[in-house]
Amino acid sequence: MPWERQPIGGVLLEACVEEIMNFPTKVAGWKVTSFLCEKGHISAALDRDGSLGTGGGSYNWIEPQIVRDDFHPEIITHVAEPPDDV
């Protein structure tokens, strides 16, 4: 069965909430827009809070504000692709 050897829902939810509570949600120039919890992996999505120079931050502002001695997330940047009709 596909659910065999999978974490129990309550256990997964508890681990997810614990990790979300560890994530700093105040990152200068950025706003946290969502979290995604999957087995063994939790992701946070951040969007720039305005344009550079008008409150939005460079992506290199993120790491120094969220990394701590006991918290070392992988930071992956994504640049939106322009629409095909442009």
**Is beta strand 26-27 parallel, antiparallel or unpaired with respect to 41-48?**
unpaired
Domain chopping of the chain, boundaries? 26-79
What pLDDT digit, counting tens, does each position of 35-83 carry? 888 877 788 888 888 777 777 777 787 888 888 888 777 777 766 665 5
The CA distance from 22 to 15, in Å, is 11
**Are 73 and 63 spatial neighbours (Cβ–Cβ below 8 Å)?**
no
What pLDDT digit, counting tens, does each position of 15-41 carry? 888 888 888 888 888 888 888 888 777
The structure tokens listed for 20 are 């979300």
The CA distance from 54 to 66, in Å, is 22
